[in-house]
Amino acid sequence: MQSDRQIQLMFIGEAKSLDFLNSIMRPETGVVDWMETGTDVLRWFVLSDLATEDEVALVMRDTASLGRYMQEIREFREEFRSFVAEISEDPSRVAGHGMVARINGILGNTAQVLQIESAMDATNRPYQLTYHSQLRGPEDLLPRIAATCAQLICEADLRFVKNCEAEDCSLYFLDVSKSHRRRWCSMEVCGNRAKAAAYRKSKQRP
């Protein structure tokens, strides 16, 4: 069972699509994968606010095909990781990238419903009209993730998609700090480790 600290660490991405990448990580204790089993994946969906408990209960009814779709999600996670590694080096590479068509393909395979919902900012109008992707079964899990990836591509400032600077850290985040100087997944984990290493190095100098 993963610790609370690991749960916190998984959600440092400031973008759901990057949290998705971080659902497999290499903390001090070795690799932790939050998508090892179908139940893991569904728990991750709830923790990430990508699905409600009720929706997950519906998906659980079809455990037979959950395994197959889960494998697809895991494969897509690595495809998307390669893409993010590329664009974090050079954001201009997003133009014409195969990942755009790949995501559009996934999104084209799901049903959207239009709903009246309470408005986020109720000062002007009480309701807003929102599209929601339906979660009818395990086949609709990947499109929900792909929607967050599409959001990153279309709405985030890709110049600030960063990999934690610690050499052995796999975590990605969107640097939304004002100064855009964020370097670590978390100060408690990699930041302090780097500080301690720098201190040890400075002590070694004659």
Please report whether residue 25 would count as binding Zn ion according to CB under 5 A. no
Please report whether residue 21 would count as binding Zn ion according to CB under 5 A. no
CB of 2 to Zn ion, least distance (A): 17
Q: Which is nearer to Zn ion, 133 or 186 (CB)?
A: 186
Q: Which is nearer to Zn ion, 141 or 190 (CB)?
A: 190
Taking residues 108 to 147 in sequence order and writing x for each that binds Zn ion by CB under 5 A, - otherwise, the string is ----------------------------------------
Decide: residue 6, CB within 10 A, 0-12 exposed, 13-18 middle, 19+ buried: middle
Q: Which is nearer to Zn ion, 16 or 162 (CB)?
A: 162
**Residue of the chain from 15, 66, 190, 194 that contacts Zn ion (CB under 5 A):** 190
Q: Which stretch binds Zn ion (CB under 5 A): 57-65, 73-81, 125-133, 184-192?
A: 184-192
Which residues within the stretch 142-181 sit at the binding site for Zn ion (CB under 5 A)? 164, 166, 169, 171
DSSP assignment of the chain: ---HHHHHHHT-SSSHHHHHHTTEE--TTS-EETTSSHHHHHHHHHHTTSS-HHHHHHHHTTHHHHHHHHHHHHHHHHHHHHHHHHHHH-GGGGTT-HHHHHHHHHHTTS-EEEEEEE-SSTTT-SEEEEEEE---SGGGHHHHHHHHHHHHHHHS-GGGEEE-SSTT---EEE--SSS-----S-IIIIIHHHHHHHHHHHHH--
Please report whether residue 194 would count as binding Zn ion according to CB under 5 A. no
Please report whether residue 87 would count as binding Zn ion according to CB under 5 A. no
Q: Which is nearer to Zn ion, 4 or 155 (CB)?
A: 4
Kindly list the residues in this chain that would bind Zn ion in the complex (CB under 5 A).
164, 166, 169, 171, 185, 190
